[in-house]
A and B are shown apart, each in its own frame.
Chain A
Amino acid sequence: SQELEQSPQSLIVQEGKNLTINCTSSKTLYGLYWYKQKYGEGLIFLMMLQKGGEEKSHEKITAKLDEKKQQSSLHITASQPSHAGIYLCGAGYRGSNYKLTFGKGTLLTVNP
């Protein structure tokens, strides 16, 4: 079974709408990373969360870590076409926190 589950797998929203992507781990998290990938390109680091309850923002993107649920949510406010791409979460686990495990990604389409 997948250690890191992302949902939804894909998402189509109208420009200006808010959206949330979730990432749930089956094991205790040591660190949770969010990346964005545009088609045919590499991964761009967005933010890293480590402590339960931690919340970070990058422009209009906010991510939170729920330690009890071992889950992180990524929220985009007032989406724009520039937000389109694949969002990936990566997790580090105690004892192997540098060997990142990735979710399968969420494909976000923002229609103008």
Chain B
Amino acid sequence: NAGVTQTPKFQVLKTGQSMTLQCAQDMNHEYMSWYRQDPGMGLRLIHYSVGAGITDQGEVPNGYNVSRSTTEDFPLRLLSAAPSQTSVYFCASSLDSSGRAAGYTFGSGTRLTVV
């Protein structure tokens, strides 16, 4: 099984550009989420989804959009990139929203730099 696949692994954007970070899982997990990881800040939740067609905001949603049209995919869109969005982005999924079954499976991350 591939688990959680994130693409691209690295990306450099100019301020004001838009882009989509892709996240796909092949484990039939209902719950998916996006985190960003910054030095000294730890991991912070951006958006999450408890199933296809259902999304909600996390702790730091501004500047990001998500959609969940299928169980497998949960793309994260940056509408107009800003230097403050320079970060490492992680996508995570779990079988159910409690995550109790086997924890949350994380992708390997996308390292984004906005210049």
Contacts and interface: CB of A to CB of B under 8 A. Distances in A.
Given A42-B90, A42-B106, A50 B42 contact: no
Given A31-B99, A92-B99, A99-B58, A41 B108 contact: yes
Contacts of B45: 99-101
A48 B103 contact: yes
Contacts of A105: 42
Interface residues of A, number: 24
A97 interface: yes
Interface residues of B, number: 29
A19 B35 CA distance: 29
Contacts, number: 68
A102 interface: yes
Contact of B97 (A33, A41, A44, A98): A98
Interface in B15-55: 31, 33, 35, 40-45, 48, 50
Contacts of B100: 31, 48, 50
A42 B91 CA distance: 9
B109 A41 contact: yes
B41 A104 contact: yes
Given A92-B98, A98-B94, A99-B58, A33 B43 contact: no
A43 B91 CA distance: 10
